[in-house]
């Protein structure tokens, strides 16, 4: 059975920091470059939290996605240079995320382009999220430079330039249903509604050139089906169906919203096939386990990618996590209750903490056990022991120091950027509160 980097209870690997170093190496995906995909199609990679795609038309240009903000958009404009010919006749939003739609004013300039999207983009509200910190903590926006590596599918998000809606322009042309064909500046494009990472995600298909722009429905990472910043499950069935549609197009080039494009028909097909299968197998295994009465904790230990999929360069857990996908699918299908009657009305955290501390022999003894756990690299257990003390005494300096150390050690062993960033940022908060 495969072991995942997330399993901290698993026997130590030859290099316990291999996940961190693999994540560090993945930053090469974000090096700044304007890449010529094929004649008349260019992608600006690494200048913002998302890619910007330029399509050249007859003495005019089309922009697909606009970067995160006007500062980044101006950097992209400079990088495109003479490749971008005014006027810009159309801007296309693949979806509503701020990192894709925040720089439209710069590309629009005085050209008054039509701005295209699916109707669901206009109808969608802001993502709910968990409090004000969760998103920033997952993206590592407050981490010091020496601890920050990347944000999983982007070099950074909100650390250097703001992730605001300052440069957003609302769509002027929307479509409902499955697809719409448009012709702009002599270029024929098919806009295809392909929900997945977001409900409104729209792919752009250039049949004449074999270019597919899938938005965020494909990333070079296991998909983030259940983000830790507190969003609903991204429906895996719809995502799988969208990937099937993309495969049917038989694209030669794929220019996704993050990381470097996929070039060559065979490689595009492999990438999309791995992605579809990577979602489907986790969904199927999780649903089968639910029917057998297994709990989320049991399923997290059992559900796995095959060796072939686990080794795919397109399914490394830089951004999404198999374990989090399992938990998200479980909660979405059958709710919060895990089937154990003990958990119908569990003890309140303070009552549980009192009883656990009493079992340990008191707070000092519990913290001594937590320190011992850190020394033998049982970092998860150390953090949990420290939590019992902190529930009863939130300002206990020793408990905060132990938990901060445990979270730091856990973070340094992650391949997943959002897990790393969340662990390390949480440790930073604890350290500041200990000062």
Average pLDDT of span 122-136: 68
Please check the confidence at residue 435 and state whether its pLDDT lies above 70. no
| Number of neighbouring beta carbons within 10 Å of residue 235 | 16
Residue 9: pLDDT above 70?
Answer: no
pLDDT at 1 over 50: no
What's the whole-model pTM score?
0.93
Please tell me the predicted confidence (pLDDT) of residue 160: 83
pLDDT for the residue numbered 12: 47
Percent helix, percent strand, percent coil in the chain, to nearest 5: 45, 15, 45
> 3-class DSSP state for residue 237?
helix
Q: How far apart are CA 325 and CA 101, in angstroms?
A: 27
Contacts of residue 402, defined as CB under 8 A and 6 or more positions apart, other chains included, come to 367, 370, 371, 374, 382, 383, 385, 386
The string of pLDDT tens digits covering residues 183-233 is 999 999 999 999 999 999 999 999 999 999 999 999 999 999 999 998 999
Task: State residue 134's pLDDT score.
Answer: 59
pLDDT at 431 over 60: yes
Listed residue (208, 270, 272) closest to 38, CA to CA? 208
**In the structure, what pLDDT confidence band is assigned to residue 6 with cuts at 50, 70 and 90?**
very low
Residue 133 has pLDDT above 90, yes or no: no
Is the per-residue pLDDT at 124 higher than 90?
no
pLDDT for 384-407, tens place per residue? Answer: 999 999 999 999 999 999 999 999
For the chain, domains (ranges, CATH) are 31-276 (3.60.15.30), 347-434 (1.25.40.880)
The mean predicted confidence, pLDDT, of the chain is 94
Convert the pLDDT of each residue in 68-85 to its tens digit. Answer: 999 999 999 999 999 999
Averaged pLDDT, 358-381: 98
Residue 5 has pLDDT above 90, yes or no: no
pLDDT of residue 132: 54
Identify the pLDDT of residue 8: 44
The answer to whether residues 243 and 225 touch, using CB atoms and an 8 Å cutoff, is no
The rounded distance, in Å, linking the Cα atoms of 154 and 29 is 8
Q: Report pLDDT digits (tens) over 16-54.
A: 999 999 999 999 999 999 999 999 999 999 999 999 999
Q: What is the DSSP string of 75-131?
A: HHHHHHGGGS-S-EEEEE-S---HHHHTBHHHHHTTS--EEEEEHHHHH------ST
Q: What is the pLDDT of residues 261-316, one digit of tens each?
A: 999 999 999 999 999 999 999 999 999 999 999 999 999 999 999 999 999 999 99
Kind of pairing between the strands at 52-56 and 41-45: antiparallel
Share of the chain above pLDDT 90, in %: 89
pLDDT of 11 > 70? The answer is no
pLDDT in tens, 303-354: 999 999 999 999 999 999 999 999 999 999 999 999 999 999 999 999 999 9
DSSP-based three-state secondary structure for 184: strand
Q: At residue 126, does pLDDT exceed 90?
A: no
What percent of the chain is modeled with pLDDT above 70? 94
Nearest to 47 by CA among 107, 91, 93, 89: 107
C-alpha to C-alpha distance for 151 and 29, rounded to whole angstroms: 12
Q: Which two tokens stand for residue 426?
A: 């949480």
pLDDT digits (tens, 9 = 90+) for 144-169: 999 999 999 999 988 887 767 789 99
What does DSSP assign to residue 136? H
Strands 61-64 and 114-118: unpaired
């Amino acid at each position: 059975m495969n072991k995942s980097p997330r399993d901290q209870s698993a026997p130590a690997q030859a290099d316990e920091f291999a996940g961190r170093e693999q994540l560090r190496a993945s930053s090469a995906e974000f090096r700044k470059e304007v890449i010529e995909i094929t004649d008349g199609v260019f992608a600006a990679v690494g200048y913002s939290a998302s890619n910007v795609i330029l399509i050249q038309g007859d003495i005019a240009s089309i922009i697909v996605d606009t970067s995160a903000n006007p500062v980044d958009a101006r950097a992209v404009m400079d990088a495109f240079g003479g490749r971008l010919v005014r006027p810009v006749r159309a801007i296309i939003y693949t979806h509503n995320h701020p990192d894709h739609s925040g720089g439209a004013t710069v590309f629009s300039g005085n050209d008054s382009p039509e701005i295209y999207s699916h109707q669901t983009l206009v109808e969608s509200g802001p993502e709910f999220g968990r409090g004000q910190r969760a998103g920033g903590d997952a993206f590592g926006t407050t981490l010091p430079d020496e601890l920050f590596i990347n944000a999983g599918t982007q070099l950074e998000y909100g650390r250097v330039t703001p992730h605001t809606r300052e440069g957003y322009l609302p769509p002027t042309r929307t479509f409902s249903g499955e697809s719409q064909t448009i012709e702009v500046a002599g270029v024929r494009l098919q806009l295809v509604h392909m929900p997945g990472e977001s409900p409104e995600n729209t792919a752009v298909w250039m049949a004449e050139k074999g270019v597919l722009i899938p938005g965020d429905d494909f990333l070079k990472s296991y998909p983030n089906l259940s983000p830790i910043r507190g969003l609903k499950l991204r429906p895996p069935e719809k995502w799988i169906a969208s990937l099937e549609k993309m495969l049917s197009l038989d694209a030669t080039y794929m220019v996704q919203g993050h990381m470097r494009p996929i070039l060559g028909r065979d490689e595009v097909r492999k990438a999309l096939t791995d992605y579809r299968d990577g979602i489907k197998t986790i969904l199927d295994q999780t649903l089968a386990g639910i029917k057998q009465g297994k709990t989320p904790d049991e399923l997290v230990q059992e559900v796995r990618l095959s060796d072939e999929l686990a080794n795919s360069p397109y399914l490394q857990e830089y951004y999404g996590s198999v374990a989090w996908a399992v938990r998200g699918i479980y909660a979405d299908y059958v709710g919060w209750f895990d089937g154990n009657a003990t958990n119908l009305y569990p003890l309140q955290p303070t009552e549980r903490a009192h009883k656990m501390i009493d079992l340990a022999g008191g707070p000092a003894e519990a913290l001594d056990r937590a320190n011992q756990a850190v020394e033998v690299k049982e970092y998860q257990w150390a953090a949990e022991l420290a939590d019992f003390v902190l529930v009863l005494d939130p300002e206990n300096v020793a408990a905060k120091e132990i938990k901060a150390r445990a979270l730091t050690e856990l973070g340094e062993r992650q391949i997943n950027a959002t897990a790393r960033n969340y662990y390390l940022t949480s440790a930073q908060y604890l350290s500041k509160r200990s000062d």
